[in-house]
């Protein structure tokens, strides 16, 4: 029997299909475009369990309400072919089928079983982490990686997975150590680059984070659109803090929006960055119109609450009628979601959605009343700390626009611990302290913003074009 590159036995019909299985597993772990290569032969390889299973997973990774329909024939063929396959192939097919049915607890239980019996099946570990990430269960992201570490510790990608799990658990020292171990094993490990960028952002190591990403960006080759755009998204956050708004906007145009305008994660990243640019006072021109033209197709897409809220933000900001349709869909989803996610939709996603729509209508008080109280529970909708921070920024901006200086001061000073010299943050603090009649504190904040901006005024170490 053949083996994949991690040493797992696989059922194949020769070297070609074995190579395509390796392309999927290696591409999934490395976020490379080769992961989709097996789709070219999947319809003709009905008797190969892993080809069918991995093809179905690819369609589920579409992260759309269309995904399960596209995955359905592969799910059926995977289950049929697995009857004559290995136990690992049977468990993987069953895990896909549970995911396809949106029985996430069952899919995760099967993923645990795979990790116990086949600890070098890192594709299954990756799916397990992905499913837990989308429901805000970061401790389980660490647990599954640690479970297989004794048998797969030689694989750089596993340390990258562990690093991100640690970071999402606020275990920053452990996250940095795991990420650096991954990069030592394999310099081109984009998920480890990504985890380390998170660590540096959270610690307020803005200049170090920007320098680190500049130092490894030459290795970002053959990446899928999500990984490529998301790494540049992180770089743009560092640029914004440094006061390099023009470069951040250029990064949006050249690196974040436009790689795959139809893909969920590319759309979500674009909404995120364009929103942050505006919150930082950057004029973005007609860019919302272009983005919203692609978001319009998401008007009833409630595949994931985190993504649905970002689609809603983009549509509402652009003044599209589809924002109302999507708000209705989110409210409806709260009544029909499966038990494992129903509370998240009803108690978190719905009030957040109503708050976001109110914000974009200029109803600052309602935005704060609906979105503010659910900020501590937003982890339940998925997304990373850095991504969900956008929703806190919206509440903060609503306070500022409503001239509610005291709560704005509280939020800004708490945020300054993680972004001490940040240009947009300190400019906002200067405004707030001036309004509060505290001119000395206003001058200090303005001086911090000016010092950071001056330090980077001539920084052209990585021009985006």
Rg (CA), the chain: 23
CB 256 within 8 A of CB 233: yes
Supply 72's token pair.
């359905």
CB 55 within 8 A of CB 39: yes
List phi, psi (to 5°) of 159.
-65, -35
pLDDT of residue 459: 80
Closest of 314, 239, 243, 234 to residue 281, by C-alpha: 243
Q: What's the CA gap between 273 and 268, in Å, rounded?
A: 9
Closest of 303, 371, 312, 377 to residue 333, by C-alpha: 303
3-class secondary-structure state, position 369: helix
pTM: 0.97
Q: In the Cβ-directed half-sphere of 389, how many Cα atoms lie within 13 Å?
A: 19
CA torsion sign for 430, 432, 435, 437 is negative
pLDDT of residue 461: 59
Angstrom CA distances, 260 to 59, 265, 294, 451, stand at: 16, 9, 10, 38
pLDDT digits (tens, 9 = 90+) for 319-329: 999 999 999 99
pLDDT of residue 462: 57
pLDDT of residue 460: 66
Closest of 241, 318, 232 to residue 276, by C-alpha: 241
At the topology level, CATH places domain 157-223 in 1.25.40
Strands 9-10 and 2-3 turn out to be antiparallel
Residues of the chain with pLDDT under 70: 460-465
pLDDT of residue 458: 82
């Amino acid at each position: 029997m053949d083996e994949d590159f991690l040493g797992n036995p696989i059922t194949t019909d020769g070297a070609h299909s074995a190579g395509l299985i390796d392309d999927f597993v290696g591409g999934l772990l490395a976020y490379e475009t080769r992961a989709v290569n097996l789709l070219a032969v999947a319809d003709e390889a009905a008797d190969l369990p892993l080809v069918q299973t991995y093809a179905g997973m690819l369609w589920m990774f579409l992260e759309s309400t269309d995904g399960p329909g596209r995955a359905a024939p592969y799910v059926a063929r995977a289950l049929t072919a697995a009857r004559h396959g290995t136990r690992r192939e049977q468990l993987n097919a069953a895990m896909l089928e549970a995911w396809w049915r949106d029985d996430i607890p069952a899919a995760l239980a099967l993923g645990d079983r795979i990790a116990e019996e086949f600890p070098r099946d890192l594709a299954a570990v990756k799916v397990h982490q992905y499913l837990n990430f989308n429901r805000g269960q970061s401790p389980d992201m660490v647990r599954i990686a640690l479970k297989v570490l004794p048998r797969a510790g030689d694989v750089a990608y596993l340390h990258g997975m562990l690093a991100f799990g640690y970071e999402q658990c606020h275990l920053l020292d452990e996250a940095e150590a795991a990420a650096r171990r991954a990069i030592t094993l394999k310099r081109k490990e984009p998920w480890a680059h990504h985890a380390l960028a998170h660590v540096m952002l959270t610690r307020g190591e803005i200049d170090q984070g920007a320098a680190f990403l500049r130092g490894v960006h030459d290795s970002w080759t053959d990446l899928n659109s999500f990984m490529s755009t998301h790494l540049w998204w992180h770089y743009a956050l560092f640029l914004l803090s440094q006061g390099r708004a023009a470069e951040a906007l250029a990064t949006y145009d050249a690196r974040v929006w436009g790689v795959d305008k139809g893909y969920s994660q590319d759309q979500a990243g674009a909404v995120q960055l364009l929103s942050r640019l505006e919150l930082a006072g950057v004029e973005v021109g007609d860019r919302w119109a272009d983005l919203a033209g692609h978001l319009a197709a998401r008007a009833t897409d409630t595949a994931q609450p985190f993504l649905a809220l970002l689609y809603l933000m983009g549509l509402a900001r652009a003044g599209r009628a589809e924002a109302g349709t999507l708000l209705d869909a989110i409210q409806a989803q709260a009544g029909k979601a499966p038990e494992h996610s129903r509370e998240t939709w009803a108690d978190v996603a719905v009030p957040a959605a109503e708050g976001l729509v109110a914000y974009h209508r200029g109803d600052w008080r309602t935005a704060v009343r609906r979105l503010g109280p659910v900020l501590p529970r937003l982890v339940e909708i998925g997304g990373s700390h850095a991504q969900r921070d956008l929703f806190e920024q919206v509440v903060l901006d609503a306070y500022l626009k409503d001239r509610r200086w005291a709560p704005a001061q509280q939020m800004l000073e708490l945020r300054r611990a993680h972004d001490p010299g940040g240009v947009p943050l300190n400019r906002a603090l200067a405004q707030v302290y001036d309004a509060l009649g505290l001119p000395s504190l206003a001058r200090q904040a303005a001086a911090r913003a000016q010092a950071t901006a001056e330090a980077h005024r001539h920084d052209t170490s990585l021009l985006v074009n």
